[in-house]
Amino acid sequence: MMKILDQIEEASPAISYAGLIERIEILRSTLRWSSRLERADIDKLLRQATSLRDEVMQLSHKERFVQAATAGEPQTSAEQSRGARRKALLERSFIFEGTFGDNPRLLESLEIAEKAAPTDLPVLIDGESGTGKELMAKVIHANGARADKPFISVNCGAIPDNLLESELFGHRKGAFTGASSDRKGKFESAHTGTIFLDEIGELPLAGQVKLLRVLEAHEIQRVGSDETIAVDTRIVAATNRNLRKLSEEGRFREDLFYRLSVIHVTLPPLRERRDEIPLLIAWFCDEAAGTLKRRPVRLTPRLRDFLLSYAYPGNIRELRNVMYRISCLAADMADIEHLPLDMRPAAPGSTAAQAEGGQASGEQPISVANLMSLSDAKRAASDDAEKAFLERGLREVSGTVAELARRIDMNRSHLQMLLKKHGLHSKDFRNRNAPPTKNGANERDEEDDEG
């Protein structure tokens, strides 16, 4: 086993699994909507592309395993069942558009997206900055019947109020000073496709009224024109504000809120899916290596520790940017000094560092200001402990939930709920004694059993 892994490491110049997977994804989405092939051929080719993608994922996983030796985390059963959930999505030809990660909450969002995609229902995506809202909007578009039609993105927060209507609905020549010719608006451009209304919370009230009308009548009027034009656009909106609260404060129309949020997806901040950070580090490391045509950068243990415990106010975007930055700046091995200044732990000698004290070595203590809030840290630790306890218990009873419930004196349905919360599947704890095969085929068979 180690031999195979060693070879992989030796032979890994700047090949980027992320890049390969992305190309396979493009192939899959092109195939899926191909109009020149028979359905049966499409399905066959899709199955082949899917298994190719899966193999590349497995390979990338193995390599990561070696590189992440410092973290030394064995693959737990819970991870296998997440893998199974992700795999199930893949087998149903789900297009990820590069969305990475397998945190139960993210998987849940993807599963909602999968169900919402083929419908024309409006979707509202909310979440903090950098949590992947735009990416999720693309996922919804790519998995729907409009995938080969336009995806038009509008940033509602970036358009001056007086141009908003013309931007969205277009205008007639001479409608206002500067309107030197007829112009199509975003809604018309998105006809038959999807319009992505980003930062919808910034839309002024006047614009909200107009948008509501389009949602109700499915038609628009260009500024300065009486003619109504029918538009068939699927609406996906995103915001990092709390629209419900804004509507309570009278700053966002409640009726519009309800119209937009038929399907509501909330993306969790990265600090609430910390279990995904190692995976994302590896993923962006690969991706950056591919883009920068270099070997994936390696991280010193203290940098890795820092990256694993940092609070990421800028969420996945911040993590991605930092991985690109260190991949660009570091030679073979990246360390704290390659981090941007404002992210770096407090410098030694600063008052904050002295207050922490106790660390005589060159180690720089991480300023608490850069870490998770105390309550987040407590909750995360308590979650981790709870999960470890349950895993241990399930192992002990070989996955018999009723038996575990009895042993720990807990109501069975409560136990089931906790298992679900942590994405643990009792099935994964059965037959632990079966001898594993060289290439991990055993794991895969078990996953298949889950159907």
Positions that interact with Mg ion (CB under 5 A): 134
User: Could you tell me the smallest distance in angstroms from the CB atom of residue 314 to Mg ion?
Assistant: 12
User: Could you tell me the smallest distance in angstroms from the CB atom of residue 118 to ligand ATP?
Assistant: 22
User: Could you tell me the smallest distance in angstroms from the CB atom of residue 265 to ligand ATP?
Assistant: 11
Give, as ranges, the residues between 30 and 49 that touch ligand ATP (CB under 6 A): none
99 binds, among Mg ion, ligand ATP, none (CB under 5 to 8 A by kind): ligand ATP
Total residues found in the chain within this entry: 451
Closer residue to ligand ATP, CB minimum distance, 83 or 127: 127
85 binds, among ligand ATP, Mg ion, none (CB under 5 to 8 A by kind): none
Query: Is 99 a binder of ligand ATP (CB under 6 A)?
Result: yes
Angle between helices 104-116 and 77-91 (to 10 degrees): 10
Closer residue to ligand ATP, CB minimum distance, 83 or 132: 132
130 binds, among ligand ATP, Mg ion, none (CB under 5 to 8 A by kind): ligand ATP
CB atoms within 10 A of CB 130: 21
Give, as ranges, the residues between 286 and 325 that touch ligand ATP (CB under 6 A): 316-317, 320
Closer residue to ligand ATP, CB minimum distance, 130 or 185: 130
**How far is it, in rounded angstroms, from Cα 402 to Cα 416?**
10
- Number of residue whose CB is nearest ligand ATP: 132
422 binds, among ligand ATP, Mg ion, none (CB under 5 to 8 A by kind): none
User: Could you tell me the smallest distance in angstroms from the CB atom of residue 307 to ligand ATP?
Assistant: 15
Closer residue to ligand ATP, CB minimum distance, 220 or 322: 322
Beta bridge partners, 152, equal 195
- For ligand ATP, which residue of 134, 219, 305, 383 counts as binding (CB under 6 A)? 134
Q: Kindly state the number of chain residues that form the binding site for ligand ATP, as judged by CB under 6 A.
A: 16
Binding flags for ligand ATP, 58-97, as an x/- string (CB under 6 A): ----------------------------------------
Query: Is 22 a binder of ligand ATP (CB under 6 A)?
Result: no
- For ligand ATP, which residue of 27, 56, 88, 135 counts as binding (CB under 6 A)? 135
If we measure between CA atoms, which residue out of 50, 31, 45 comes closest to residue 88?
50
User: Could you tell me the smallest distance in angstroms from the CB atom of residue 144 to ligand ATP?
Assistant: 18
Residue 114's contacts (CB-CB under 8 Å, 6 or more residues apart) are 89, 92, 94, 143
**How far is it, in rounded angstroms, from Cα 133 to Cα 150?**
18
Closer residue to Mg ion, CB minimum distance, 91 or 134: 134
- For ligand ATP, which residue of 77, 93, 95, 100 counts as binding (CB under 6 A)? 100
Closer residue to Mg ion, CB minimum distance, 109 or 364: 109
Decide if 122 contacts 235 (C-beta within 8 A): yes
User: Could you tell me the smallest distance in angstroms from the CB atom of residue 101 to ligand ATP?
Assistant: 5
Binding segment (CB under 6 A) for ligand ATP, from list 129-137, 139-147, 162-170, 288-296:
129-137
Closer residue to ligand ATP, CB minimum distance, 113 or 334: 113
135 binds, among ligand ATP, Mg ion, none (CB under 5 to 8 A by kind): ligand ATP
User: Could you tell me the smallest distance in angstroms from the CB atom of residue 53 to ligand ATP?
Assistant: 15
Closer residue to ligand ATP, CB minimum distance, 267 or 330: 267
User: Could you tell me the smallest distance in angstroms from the CB atom of residue 432 to Mg ion?
Assistant: 43
Secondary structure (H, E, C), the chain: CHHHHHHHHHCCCCCCHHHHHHHHHHHHHHHHCCCCCCHHHHHHHHHHHHHHHHHHHHHHHHHHHHHHHHCCCCCCHHHHHHHHHHHHHHHCCCCCCCCCCCCHHHHHHHHHHHHHCCCCCCEEEECCCCCCHHHHHHHHHHCCCCCCCCEEEEECCCCCHHHHHHHHHEECCCCCCCCCCCEECHHHHCCCCEEEEECHHHCCHHHHHHHHHHHHHCEEECECCCCEEECCCEEEEEECCCHHHHHHCCCCCHHHHHHHCCEEEECCCHHHCHHHHHHHHHHHHHHHHHHHCCCCCEECHHHHHHHHHECCCCHHHHHHHHHHHHHHHCCCEECHHHCCCCCCCCCCCCHHHHHHCCCCCCCCCCCHHHECCHHHHHHHHHHHHHHHHHHHHHHHCCCCHHHHHHHCCCCHHHHHHHHHHCCCCHHHHCCCCCCCCCCCHHHHHHHHHHC
The amino acid sitting at 371 is: L
Query: Is 229 a binder of ligand ATP (CB under 6 A)?
Result: no
111 binds, among ligand ATP, Mg ion, none (CB under 5 to 8 A by kind): none
Binding site for ligand ATP (CB under 6 A): 98-101, 127, 129-135, 240, 316-317, 320
